[in-house]
């Protein structure tokens, strides 16, 4: 099975100049925990999560409406996939990098969708030969959910 068969294509996005209050409103309205950050041509620049917003809102001395997404979003290595990638490859990527969602981009790095654990779990099946093998899904979840040592503050 290909990513394009399970991805969510109607993805709401924001730009780097969007404020955190507006990004949080998108998450609230769309019932999601992540918003891809794109430029005017929908090229993927980064990603912002509900956790990013929460941490920024509680650790900075500014209101969320006064903080731009560009100052909080994840940039650099944003793991993504392509519409024609195999779902098994996506499961492996999610497990290896401990991420719950992957933006789906075309060859020009333009956002065309997102694939999440929610998209995959609805198609997972424990029967032999299934398109999203239940055991691989469980192994991916275990990898993502493995706790890492907490940061120690002296």
Alpha-carbon gap, residue 131 to 122, rounded angstroms: 11
How far from chain centre, in Å, is Cα 105?
12
pLDDT in tens, 56-75: 999 988 999 999 999 999 87
pLDDT digits (tens, 9 = 90+) for 30-49: 999 999 999 999 999 999 99
Spatial contact of 48 and 56, defined as CB atoms under 8 Å apart: no
Q: Count H helices and E strands in the chain, helices first.
A: 5, 4
**CB atoms < 10 A from the CB of 128, how many?**
6
Which structural domain range is residue 7 located in? Answer: 3-145
- pLDDT by residue for the chain (154 residues), tens only, comes to 899 999 999 999 999 999 999 999 999 999 999 999 999 999 999 999 999 999 999 998 899 999 999 999 987 788 999 999 998 899 889 888 989 899 999 999 999 999 998 888 776 655 555 566 667 767 776 776 676 665 544 4
Residue 52, helix vs strand vs coil: helix
The answer as to whether 151 is a domain residue is: no
The structure's pTM equals 0.81
Query: Domain tally for the chain?
Result: 1
Q: Is residue 153 part of a domain?
A: no
CATH of the domain at 96: 3.10.580.10
Tell me the Ramachandran region of residue 98: left when phi exceeds 0, alpha when psi lies from -120 to 50, beta otherwise: left
């Amino acid at each position: 099975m290909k990513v394009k068969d399970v991805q969510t294509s109607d993805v709401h996005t924001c730009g780097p100049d969007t404020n955190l209050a507006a990004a949080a409103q998108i998450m609230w309205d769309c019932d999601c925990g992540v918003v891809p950050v794109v430029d005017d041509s929908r090229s993927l620049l980064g990603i912002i999560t509900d956790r990013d917003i929460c941490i920024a809102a509680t650790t900075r001395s500014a209101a969320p409406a006064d903080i731009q997404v560009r100052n909080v979003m994840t940039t650099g290595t944003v793991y993504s996939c392509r519409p024609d990638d195999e779902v098994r490859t996506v499961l492996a990527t999610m497990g290896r990098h401990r991420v719950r969602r992957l933006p789906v981009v075309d060859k020009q790095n333009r956002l065309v969708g997102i694939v999440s654990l929610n998209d995959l779990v609805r198609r997972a099946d424990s029967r032999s030969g299934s398109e999203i093998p239940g055991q691989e899904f469980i192994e991916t979840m275990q990898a993502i959910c493995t706790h890492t040592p907490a940061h120690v503050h002296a």
